[in-house]
Amino acid sequence: MIEPVLDIVFSRWTTPILWTLNAFGTQRFVELQRNIGTITPKVLTQRLRQLERDGLVIRTYFPEVPPRVEYQISDLGRTLAPLFASLTDWSTVHLPLVEQARQEFDTAEEQAAARHH
């Protein structure tokens, strides 16, 4: 029964969007894009629509001149904050170990390839 949760939470860009909204609060589209980094406007729009549909993000439209739209994490989305904290803790402790394992693996692969030539 975990598969639907994984589809919602770990779809590409979902976690960075929700983490950013949770960490920085309500943001306009451009601010959100800047805080996330490498996401394209098209993909950010698609993901925000899906997150709004899932009830994890609230989109507020202000009919001003020029119009303004803000995004915030919903109460439902905020329930994922402990998950983000756990992922942050895990990455702090374990990412260096993952990097070390990758380097050891790559070195062993290179040595094996050199022996076979």
Summarised one tens digit per residue, pLDDT across range 14-49 is 888 998 999 999 999 999 999 998 899 999 999 999
3-state secondary structure of 57: strand
> Across the chain, what does the average pLDDT equal?
91
Indicate if 66 and 106 belong to the same structural domain.
no
3-state secondary structure of 56: coil
CA dist 100 to 53, 81, 87, 90, 105, Å? 40, 29, 19, 15, 9
CB atoms within 10 A of CB 59: 13
Domain assignment of residue 67, given as a range: 1-77
Indicate if 71 and 88 belong to the same structural domain.
no
Indicate if 46 and 96 belong to the same structural domain.
no
pTM here is 0.76
